[in-house]
Structure 1
Amino acid sequence: MLTQKEFENIPIALEESTAMSVPNEPIEIFEGAFNFKLDETDRLHAANGRLEIVWQPTIRIKLFCEYESSESIGFHDLFLAEYIFLKMDSEIFYKCFITKSSSNKRLIQGELMETPFFGNIDANIDHVLFDVPNLRKFHGDIVKRELDGGLSSTSSRLVLTNKKFITILEMRHSFDSLSETLRNEGGYLFLHNGLIKKKRNNQLMTHEDLKNQIQCLDFFLSFFNGRAVCAMFLKGKVGHQKVWEDYQYLNTENYRSSFSWAPTNIKSKHLQSLWSSFCKIWNYREDSSFLTFAVKWYNEANMNEVSTDTRLIMAQTTLELIYNWWLIEKNQLITINDANNLAAENKIRLVLAQIGISYEIPVEFTGLILQKKKQVFKDGPNSIVYIRNSLVHSNTNKIKGVTNLPPETRGEAVILANWYIELALLKILDYNGKYQKRMGGVELVPWVNT
């Protein structure tokens, strides 16, 4: 039970910078007067309209506008124009593909080909607010909210720090009910609020300062989530004053149930440790590309809506990337010439040796074990490579061999490969906490017990 003084010291929850109460709810990002032209040489025409973010079947920005009666734009002008060029509150023109037009009603509808930016991109700010859709739950630090019925508190804040920045992530009010709605309907729904500020008090920053930090955060959260997510709809502020708005949506997937190595009760200190290691690698330009591709390919291998065969190909590719970067480039375990001559399954075995887990197929994978008894596979790494090679280096005999395998056996190979990837990345990131095991249960990572 918290004392009155302890309760007073609890931080207040972040503001909800973009309202979104149901999945795939359109979000208006601009309404008012603007100018447009039909091509680079055309004069400016006056119009009124709005821009909306729509989510399905893919995220895009739609334009709905009516140009003024004084503008002489004929049917053939619109018919021949594939695009218009919008000019809103700056000198920037945004290319917009025309989807519907009417010269009689003076209407134009379209889709923006790029994300708009409002405000002064070079202005200094003291913090930026953002939203994150479809991110899974964590057990965070306590925050308090003022609601109609009084004050309430929840364990919903995660604070991540590195050398330059403090990043705060916070589950939205009614997170559980929002998540249930998202599970039922699919698509996109903002579940977390976010804030980034400089680590040193009162230190200002620019939009340019944030680019690398935001990208790093996106890939970190995607690894934690098991599916690609990103910080969206950035709003740069000084105090309570909004200075600029950036409506980027660089890398996020619609909701699907997917596996995550992170247990729901993962401790904040372990996520902070993981974040520190992630940032340390990210801040070396050559190494950030490793994290970019490793997380991207891992997320693709973890997508249930993608075919089993495609997922297995992506998973083995990720394991070989880990082998090349971690064991050859960074640790120089063997020479490059020897590394190039090594069979793919031996590369995976070397990765497993660094993690401290057996090459043998875990007992939970009954389909793979049955094929091992039939002498189709030798061990876990061999089962992954055998199936993948049968798909990629196809000939009649190999295709026949893999198509004769029960579908659940190929599915088990994907799960096994993804388990290897998760443990390898957690080992690289010096993670020493508990993880959700692919085969069921939560346990400490294996190297903690050795």
Structure 2
Amino acid sequence: MYTPNKLTVYVEAFYMDGGRITLSLLKNHPAFIALCISIKLISTRPSEPVLFHGKNGSETVWKHFVRINRNSVLPINPESPYSWTGNGSEWCQNGDSEILHDLVHTIASSANTAEISFSVDWYLKIVNSNLGGESIVLTQVALEGIAWWYLVAHKKAILASNYDNLKTGDWLRMMLSFMNIPAEVPKIFSHLLKLCNDQSFNFKLDGIADGPLAFVNTRNFIVHRSEKNLKKLQKIEGVAMQEVVSLGLWYLETIILKLVGYKGKYYSRANNDYNLTVLD
């Protein structure tokens, strides 16, 4: 028998009309949008909720099923796929975590849903692209899109005209500062740190290995091809290039989790062996 449990989701009811979900109403419904975004973020793939009609005794319910990708940034057991059943305003989650419940709740009540959706969609394009070093270019597109909205429109920390005149990496460093994310290159990226000691790369700020400078300058070496930049790219190839990729993804993943109000453990690229780290 269907019984809502403690994971009942705090969202509005999905609309039902004659036993069918009315898509014209559903597509703009905050709870449904939040569910779509949450599933994409957790599954780390461009997936949508699958809702289908079912019966539980004499009770009509809706059910959703999603399989979790093994490389999810959040601590979800991939062997325990999630199914959701709902009736009226009550939706319950069958699984081993309250993460999806919390994400849906937070995103549905957020005033920044469009920006969160933009960030997650770009993130999925990048992690599923298998582009290698070239993914740095896409990661910067995503980070710049978030930074402009966050610093200019949301926080009003800087005027649009002044934002356009920021020096290399300043926009990223400013956003990281607002979100309490360290700008210094994490120690795990040892090959990248060695390059930071090479003055020709300009990866240091005030004597500190600066992540925004390392990431943005590497992107510039890729995009703005010249003999000088090609020589620098040859030095960054291999493990060091992969560390720049991981640095950018670490920024993007952490920023997205901050935007959705997530607090808890996640798999941080900035720690050894992709260990679980507490995000507060």
After TM superposition, the score normalised by the length of structure 2 is 0.74
Q: Decide whether the 8 Å contact of 2:152 with 2:158 is kept in 1.
A: yes
Choose the corresponding residue for 1:326, options 122, 143, 150: 150
Q: Provide the residue aligned with 1:442 in structure 2.
A: 276
Q: Which has the higher contact order (CA 8 A, sep 6+)?
A: 2
Distance in structure 1 (CA, Å) of the matches to 2:56 and 2:97: 27
Q: Provide the residue aligned with 2:84 in structure 1.
A: none
User: Superposition pairs for residues 234-313 of structure 1, below 5 Å?
Assistant: 234-236=51-53, 259-264=71-76, 268-281=97-110, 287-303=112-128, 306-313=130-137
Distance in structure 2 (CA, Å) of the matches to 1:425 and 1:336: 22
Distance in structure 2 (CA, Å) of the matches to 1:301 and 1:420: 13
- Answer 1 or 2: which has greater strand percent: 1
Cα pair distance change 1:360/1:422, threshold 3 Å: same
Cα pair distance change 1:231/1:257, threshold 3 Å: closer
Distance in structure 2 (CA, Å) of the matches to 1:239 and 1:259: 34
Deviations 1:258-289 (A, max 9, x none): 632201369744433322222234xx6xx544
- Answer 1 or 2: which has greater helix percent: 2
Residue 344 (structure 1) shift = 4.4
Q: Provide the residue aligned with 1:212 in structure 2.
A: 28
Q: Provide the residue aligned with 2:259 in structure 1.
A: 428
Choose the corresponding residue for 2:11, options 157, 162, 165: 162
Q: Decide whether the 8 Å contact of 2:185 with 2:193 is kept in 1.
A: yes
Q: Decide whether the 8 Å contact of 1:270 with 1:432 is kept in 2.
A: no
SS in 2 for 1:443: strand
Deviations 1:58-114 (A, max 9, x none): xxxxxxxxxxxxxxxxxxxxxxxxxxxxxxxxxxxxxxxxxxxxxxxxxxxxxxxxx
User: Superposition pairs for residues 6-85 of structure 1, below 5 Å?
Assistant: 11=3
Equivalent residue letter for 1:443: T
Cα pair distance change 1:302/1:336, threshold 3 Å: same
Cα pair distance change 1:341/1:231, threshold 3 Å: same
After TM superposition, the score normalised by the length of structure 1 is 0.48
Q: Decide whether the 8 Å contact of 1:277 with 1:430 is kept in 2.
A: yes
Number of equivalences: 244
Pairing 1:384–2:202 present: no
The share of aligned pairs that are identical, in percent, is 25
Distance in structure 2 (CA, Å) of the matches to 1:423 and 1:374: 28
Bigger Cα displacement from structure 2, 214-223 vs 429-438: 214-223
User: Superposition pairs for residues 354-433 of structure 1, below 5 Å?
Assistant: 354-375=178-199, 376=201, 377-378=203-204, 379-433=210-264
Q: Decide whether the 8 Å contact of 1:218 with 1:231 is kept in 2.
A: yes
Distance in structure 2 (CA, Å) of the matches to 1:384 and 1:343: 14
Cα pair distance change 1:299/1:364, threshold 3 Å: same
Cα pair distance change 1:205/1:222, threshold 3 Å: closer
SS in 1 for 2:144: helix
